[in-house]
Structure 1
Amino acid sequence: MKRWLTIGFFLFCAGGEAQVLGGRSVFNFLRLSHTPQLTALGGINISQPSADIGMAFNNPALFTPSMHGQADAVFNDFYGGIKVFHLSVGYHHPKLNTNFIGGLNFFNYGSTTETDAGGNILGRFRPVDWVMQLGASRSYLEKWTYGATVKFISSNYGAYRSNGIATDVSVLFRDTTKLFSASFLVKNLGVQLKRYGNEREELPFDLQAGITKRLARAPFSFSVTAQRLHQYNLQYNDTAFNNENGYRNAPSKFSLGKITDHLVLGVTIHVHERVELQAGYNFLRRRELNPGNGGNGLNGFSAGLSVFPGKLAIRYARSYYQPGSAVNQVGLNLPLNQYFGLGKFGDRAGW
């Protein structure tokens, strides 16, 4: 355990040198929530115990042997006709006592017009982003799990292309008798390999910590997650723009808002063994999308539903980003090893 604490310390120090505000980094699609349960809980949650392998795709320490053979497929119809697809699958190797998870996030932005600097139309192209990752986790003693993920990231915007590599490292403490869990995640620690232009850009590095507590005598689980712990002030303050549009400038000294900007709240209602409801509130998203007195009253809020008919899990989430519309996300968890056998090879592989 001392070895992992030492590694965590050095990762924290490295993160302190990689402080970039939102919008000032490359590959920001890595920040988007890829699975409905995560989206419903506010878009950021690393401590919610779940049978959903999509949560383990975000935090490898959440992977449990019970997710062996499970696949997760998600579709998200985002704004502007953007189509987002997610696919992941998990495998537990009993001899190695190690869990493995691999998957892909794919962002299709459709077809758009290509022009030169003078606005002359040159044709059309189809911009895409994608990230492929492979993760592993192991248990330590009875209550600890640690994990890591390696990601290969790619962007293709016509003549402009870039790729990079990153890793996530996490540790989870879970006490099933007290219905409590806590986790710490180092996210998107990496480098841009191929640049769009001449300048190398930073990745959207993040340090996250979260806790979840389920009530013993009521069907509720509550989560609090803190994001971007390596930065105190997350507020982007363009004084010229604010003055021109009549918005208040962010205070330069201590303020409660600078603390709450880091927090994401989530609640799960365990209605029935086959039905769950989720809801979340993201303080930073709320503030960024509601400048001045404008914006949507529901910005920052999200909600979701999970139902478990038979061996399947069907999940839905809805989150708000602008007035009059919301983003919908639908996902399906399928235990592949219970539906598709691989014969003798599957028996040897522990499928």
Structure 2
Amino acid sequence: MRNILFVLFIFVFAGTSSAQNGDEVFDFLRIPNSARVNSLGGHNISIIERDPSLIFHNPALLGAEMDKMVNLNYMNYISDVNAGSALFTKALKEHSAWGVGASFFSYGNLKETTGENQIIGDFSAKDISVVGFYSHDLNDRWRGGLSLKFLYSSIADYTSIGLCVDAGLSYYNSEKEFSAGITLKNIGAQLKPYDNKRQKMPWDIQAGISKKMTHAPIRFSLTAMYLNRWKFDYVDDSDQEYKGDNFFKALVKHFVIGVDYIPSDNFWIGVGFNPKTSLDMKLRDGGGALSGFSAGAGVKIKMFDVGASIAKYNPSALSLMISVSMTLDDFKN
């Protein structure tokens, strides 16, 4: 346990020391890869469920209970911009597990133009991540996990390669139905830049808690994100009057709230609110009112766990995500 905490401390110190202002690369790593997490605000690292997709968000949520499971996810982000992932998990003896997965983000077909804004053709852009996972039970309540990500990105004729890791801890008290997690995300480097300028990784520190009510099948989750920074850069150069977030706005942008209703192991409903998305997507004319809100539901249909969720990551469109999980041993019966 002490060794795990020491390693996490080193990761935090190293990441904090190297953090710099500037553009990020492989930003698609912030997109949720789970319909359940998407329904709870897009970020959650603490809920305990037999759902393999959760390990994309915290590798310590992987466990031997996910033996021989397959998970598939698809998201229509907006228009012809799509994302998806696939995952296989396997128990390793009694107290360990491993997994392998991949995710992609496709930006669709884009128009190539000259400096005079003349269209000369089309080009495509996409991001791909190949991930390996490992977790180990430290004791009855604590579990540690690691994931290693190989990253590839292409924009027309330009390509980039990167490598990063996630390190996480998960705590679960079944008697009190309380769980907590902490994850250091996307700690690594861009090995091959698009041109001669290297960009920083979208690294993040997240911590979260989840608590199920004693006499009702309702669970509340609170996730803190971007703990490696305080304020966020403002990107709208046309707004010369905006001087940055005040203390309250800067504070609330670090939290995501999620609530799910779990009447049985075969059904769930979740809702969430992400204040950062809501504030970032707010328009001057009052548009984008539902930005930051999300909702979803899941049901077990025979051998398949199916989940669907919607979220508003753009003022003008909803993003739909669908997840399907199955256990391979169920097909033998």
Aligned to 2:93: 94
Gaps of 5+ in 2: none
Instruction: Please give the per-residue CA displacement for 1:94-153, whole angstroms capped at 9, x wherever unaligned.
Output: 17x421011111122333333454556554333221101001000011110000000000
Instruction: Please give the per-residue CA displacement for 1:169-195, whole angstroms capped at 9, x wherever unaligned.
Output: 001111111101111100000000111
* C-alpha deviation, 1:237, in angstroms: 6.8
Return the alpha-carbon distance in structure 2 between the equivalents of residues 161 and 109 of structure 1: 14
Q: Give yes or no for contact 1:179–1:213 (8 Å, CA) kept in 2.
A: yes
Q: CA, structure 1 residues 235+263, in 2 after alignment: closer, same or farther (shift >3 Å)?
A: farther
Q: Which of 261, 272, 279 is the matching residue for 1:280?
A: 272
Q: Give yes or no for contact 2:152–2:162 (8 Å, CA) kept in 1.
A: yes
Return the alpha-carbon distance in structure 1 between the equivalents of residues 162 and 321 of structure 2: 27
Aligned to 2:64: 65
Aligned to 1:259: 251
Describe the SS at the equivalent of 2:108: coil
Aligned to 1:155: 153
Instruction: Please give the per-residue CA displacement for 1:248-271, whole angstroms capped at 9, x wherever unaligned.
Output: 43256xx22211110000011013
Fraction of identical pairs, as percent: 28
- Residue type of the alignment partner of 2:295: A
Return the alpha-carbon distance in structure 1 between the equivalents of residues 315 and 226 of structure 2: 27
Q: Give yes or no for contact 2:252–2:275 (8 Å, CA) kept in 1.
A: yes
Q: CA, structure 1 residues 237+163, in 2 after alignment: closer, same or farther (shift >3 Å)?
A: closer
Q: CA, structure 1 residues 287+99, in 2 after alignment: closer, same or farther (shift >3 Å)?
A: same
* C-alpha deviation, 1:235, in angstroms: 5.0
* C-alpha deviation, 1:325, in angstroms: 2.7
Q: Give yes or no for contact 1:20–1:205 (8 Å, CA) kept in 2.
A: no
Describe the SS at the equivalent of 2:56: helix
Q: Which of 272, 276, 282 is the matching residue for 1:290?
A: 282
Matches within 5 A, 1:304-315: 304-315=296-307
Return the alpha-carbon distance in structure 2 between the equivalents of residues 103 and 43 of structure 1: 19
Aligned to 1:210: 208
Q: Give yes or no for contact 1:166–1:189 (8 Å, CA) kept in 2.
A: yes
* C-alpha deviation, 1:24, in angstroms: 2.2
Describe the SS at the equivalent of 2:14: helix
Aligned to 2:183: 185
Aligned to 1:29: 28
Return the alpha-carbon distance in structure 2 between the equivalents of residues 315 and 78 of structure 1: 16
Q: Which of 225, 238, 241 is the matching residue for 2:238?
A: 241
Q: CA, structure 1 residues 160+278, in 2 after alignment: closer, same or farther (shift >3 Å)?
A: same
Q: CA, structure 1 residues 330+258, in 2 after alignment: closer, same or farther (shift >3 Å)?
A: same
* C-alpha deviation, 1:8, in angstroms: 1.1
Describe the SS at the equivalent of 1:308: strand
* C-alpha deviation, 1:64, in angstroms: 2.0
* Number of residue pairs the alignment of both structures matches: 333
Q: Is residue 11 from structure 1 mapped to residue 11 from structure 2 by the alignment? A: yes
Q: Give yes or no for contact 2:281–2:315 (8 Å, CA) kept in 1.
A: no
Gaps of 5+ in 1: 342-351
Instruction: Please give the per-residue CA displacement for 1:268-325, whole angstroms capped at 9, x wherever unaligned.
Output: 1013332100011101111111144533111100000010123310000000133453
Deviates more, 1:294-303 or 1:211-220: 294-303
- TM-score of the pair, normalised by structure 1: 0.89
Aligned to 1:144: 142
Aligned to 1:38: 37
Whichever structure has more strand as a proportion of its residues is 2
Q: Is residue 302 from structure 1 mapped to residue 299 from structure 2 by the alignment? A: no
- Residue type of the alignment partner of 1:71: V
- TM-score of the pair, normalised by structure 2: 0.94
Q: CA, structure 1 residues 18+290, in 2 after alignment: closer, same or farther (shift >3 Å)?
A: farther
Return the alpha-carbon distance in structure 2 between the equivalents of residues 321 and 138 of structure 1: 35
Describe the SS at the equivalent of 1:181: strand
Return the alpha-carbon distance in structure 1 between the equivalents of residues 292 and 185 of structure 2: 22
- Residue type of the alignment partner of 1:250: G
* C-alpha deviation, 1:34, in angstroms: 1.4
Aligned to 1:338: 330
